[in-house]
Structure formats: structure tokens, C-alpha cells
Copies of this chain bind each other. A is one copy, B any other.
Amino acid sequence: MTFDVQDPEGLRLARALAPRERGAGDDERYARAAWSHLTEPGESTAGALVAALGPVAALDVAADSGGLVDETLEEGRRRWGPRLAHEPIARSLATAVRRGIRLVVPGDPHWPRALDDLGDHAPIALWTRGDTAALVHLSPGVALVGARAATSYGEHTAAELAADLCGAGVAVVSGGAYGIDGAAHRAALGVGGLTVAVMAGGVDRTYPSGNTDLAERIVASGGAVIAEVPCGAAPTKWRFLQRNRLIAALAGATVVVEAGWRSGALNTAGHAASLGRPVGAVPGPITSAASAGTHRLLREYDAVCITGTDDVLELLGAVPRERIVTERGFHVSDDTRVLDAMSFRAGRTVDDIARRSGHAPGDVEARLGLLRLVGEVEPVATGWRRRSR
């Protein structure tokens, strides 16, 4: 099997796919475009090979049936071989060019560095519809994800959080699906915020097709619709699960708004946690199956309970914890006992208040003096009484 990594037609298409601000050369871009056809998302053999040799030399090695004798590589070659052909790749690239899609790769100014945290599991390239600059404006960004079968409570909550986060200058990343994803994207668009949808299949075909209009609006707004799989790729279950790792890696924190017991959103949360990114979960009624997954995150995965936008900002590290600590105290001083022993109507003597409160009379006297200073009590003809405030 031979594959020319310098194929002129391939290089021409790669040049046409480059974003306006480009860093990588045509041959690297073409090699990465080819790689995104050969491998399935998250495949570490390909990732390690590309990281070690660079995409061009790695592709050369992958296409070479002889040379290196290495079990892992031979194993990879057996997987990549059936897909290694100029013609189908060129067809897919031509579709992308025709649709105005850009291929952002490492080395380009808009490549999101946050993805580097994925190591050998990082995507080899990002197929992008919309403004590629959106990819570097995801910092700060929050992933708002959740069930497709969301309730109105969940969609309302997703929309509130998304709108408020955008208002605070935070971008919203999600999966472009029905339910929570869609509510988050739409609310972000509604307030003129930045939002990015990460697809499991090719960006030339919106999945679900019912959200085609939403995807167009995201693109038109200055946001982006992206995928690591090329044009024409179907959104298989595996690709959905791997897509979730991209959502988790692109965002500074992941918040699951509503999710069933086995929702894919828990998988996104799992990816975020394994990347060391903070994970939040919005609680809901325990009688709602649509919140069973978020409660599971709270119970079993130590997710942070999210009750509003401030909590999400705190999760991102944007708000000092101090604000909350000062509201914590339930301090009840002995003054409470003195006040309990008094009346708003009748005056009572110090001895009477001492007996009722269980404080020593001298103590009561001292406390009454302080309470008078803050306007809580007042002396009257028959002793002391509480003041209405």
C-alpha cells in the first residue's frame, strides 16, 4: 500500500481548508486531515505516533508496510490500512472546502491549548464551522451539558445559567443536542454571548437534524460548530463518548444541569474529573428521574452542588470563597437567652430576666447595657423591655 503524503491535490485542498490565521504548513495540515480519517477519536497509538514524529512522518510510517517492527504499530497499521486511500479522503476534504469549513491544527494561532491536557488522546485536528477565533475564546468557558430528555425545570435552569455566564464574559460549550444542550446554546445566543457546539459526527451534517437551524445561528453569531471527525462521518456511539472528552477538555469546568441515571452527560463529567477539571451538578427534585444522574454525581463523584451562576463562577475559580464563608456562621450568643426572657410589651426587672434566662443578674445587667446600645432593648418605668425594630 502506498500513500503520497505530498499528494499535490491533497496539499491544494489542505491550503484551502486553512483558517485565515494559520501556523501549520500545508503538508502538516494535509497529513492531519488524513489522520482524522484514519483513526477513531481518542486513539492513543495514532496520537503517540503523531506526537513523536509529527503528522507527516507519522503518516509515512503508517502507510509503510515494512520498516519498523513494532507490535503496537503493526496493530495500528491493520486498523488504519482499510481507510488509507487518497480518493475518499480527497472527497471529504472537497466537501469541507465547499462548505466553508476550516481545519484548525496544532501550530495554528486558534488551536485551543486546553486540548493538550488530553496527551496522546488529544484530537489530531478540529474541523470548524464559524469563527475559528471562538476556539481560543473558550477560556474562560464552561461546559453546560445534560439530558436530551430534559424537563422544563432543567431547560429553564440551563438557560438561566448560560445567559448569566455569558453576561459575566464566560463562553458556553455544549453538544448541540436537544434538551439541556440546546437550551444552553440558545440562551447564550439570546444574550449575544459566545457559544461553541462540539459534534460527534462531521460538521457538514448537523445531528440531530432538528437542530440544524441552531447550528446555523451559532455559526452566524461568531461562535463555532466543531468536530474532530471529518465531513461525512456518522455520529456513532463511540464518537459521542469521545466527543464528550472534547467538551470536558475545552471548558474550564463542566456543569451537568439535568441527567438521567445513565445519561451520557455523566460520561462528560467523568472526562472532566479525570482531567482535573472541576465538575458541578445541579440538584433537582428526587422525584424527578431527569435529576437522578446529577444526584448520582453529588453522591458518588463528589461533584459540587450548583445552585446558581455564582456557584459556577466559583467553580471556575472566578469568585473568592470568602463571600460564602462570611455568610456561614450560625452564631447565637448568650444575648439570645436574655432577649428570649424579655417582653416587647411589659417591662421586666433584671432579677426577673435573670431567673427567666438562667443568667446571673450581674450578667444580665451588663448585656442589657450592650443591647441598649444597639437598639434592641430600652429601660422603662417597670424595668427593661425589647424594642420593636
A contacts, CB < 8 Å to B: 38-40, 43, 75, 78-83, 153, 156-157, 236-239, 241, 262, 266-267, 270, 282-287, 291-292, 295, 298-300, 304-308, 311, 324, 328, 330, 332, 336-337, 339-341, 351, 354-355, 357-363
Rounded to whole Å, the gap between the CB of A125 and the closest CB of chain B is 16
Q: Quick check: B358 and A39 within 8 Å, CB to CB?
A: yes
A337 to B304 alpha-carbon distance, docked (Å): 33
9 contacts across the A-B interface (CB closer than 8 A): A38-B358, A40-B357, A75-B360, A78-B360, A82-B361, A153-B287, A238-B337, A285-B285, A295-B307
Rounded to whole Å, the gap between the CB of A59 and the closest CB of chain B is 15
Residue in contact with A283 in the complex, picked from B82, B156, B305, CB distance below 8 Å? B305
Interface hub of A241, A282, A284, A341 (most chain B Cβ within 10 A): A284
Rounded to whole Å, the gap between the CB of A286 and the closest CB of chain B is 4
Closest B residue to A284 by beta carbon equals B285
Q: Quick check: A359 and B79 within 8 Å, CB to CB?
A: yes
* Interfacial chain B residues near A266, Cβ < 8 Å: 330
A305 to B297 alpha-carbon distance, docked (Å): 9
Residue in contact with A307 in the complex, picked from B292, B336, B340, CB distance below 8 Å? B292
* Interfacial chain B residues near A284, Cβ < 8 Å: 283-286
Rounded to whole Å, the gap between the CB of A339 and the closest CB of chain B is 8
Closest B residue to A302 by beta carbon equals B302
* Interfacial chain B residues near A156, Cβ < 8 Å: 287
Q: Quick check: B340 and A328 within 8 Å, CB to CB?
A: no
DSSP majority for the A interface?
Answer: helix
* Interfacial chain B residues near A40, Cβ < 8 Å: 337, 357-358
Closest B residue to A359 by beta carbon equals B79
Interface hub of A38, A262, A292, A295 (most chain B Cβ within 10 A): A295
* A-B complex: 6 closest residue pairs judged by Cβ atoms: A78-B360, A283-B283, A236-B340, A40-B358, A82-B355, A298-B305
* Interfacial chain B residues near A267, Cβ < 8 Å: 330
A148 to B354 alpha-carbon distance, docked (Å): 31
Rounded to whole Å, the gap between the CB of A352 and the closest CB of chain B is 8
* Interfacial chain B residues near A295, Cβ < 8 Å: 283, 305, 307
Q: Quick check: B332 and A238 within 8 Å, CB to CB?
A: yes
Q: Quick check: A361 and B78 within 8 Å, CB to CB?
A: yes
Closest B residue to A267 by beta carbon equals B330
A332 to B238 alpha-carbon distance, docked (Å): 8
Closest B residue to A269 by beta carbon equals B330
Rounded to whole Å, the gap between the CB of A80 and the closest CB of chain B is 8
Given A79-B359, A292-B307, A298-B305, A330 and B270 contact (CB-CB distance below 8 Å): yes
Residue in contact with A282 in the complex, picked from B78, B286, B362, CB distance below 8 Å? B286
A241 to B361 alpha-carbon distance, docked (Å): 23
A360 to B328 alpha-carbon distance, docked (Å): 58
* Interfacial chain B residues near A359, Cβ < 8 Å: 79
Rounded to whole Å, the gap between the CB of A348 and the closest CB of chain B is 12
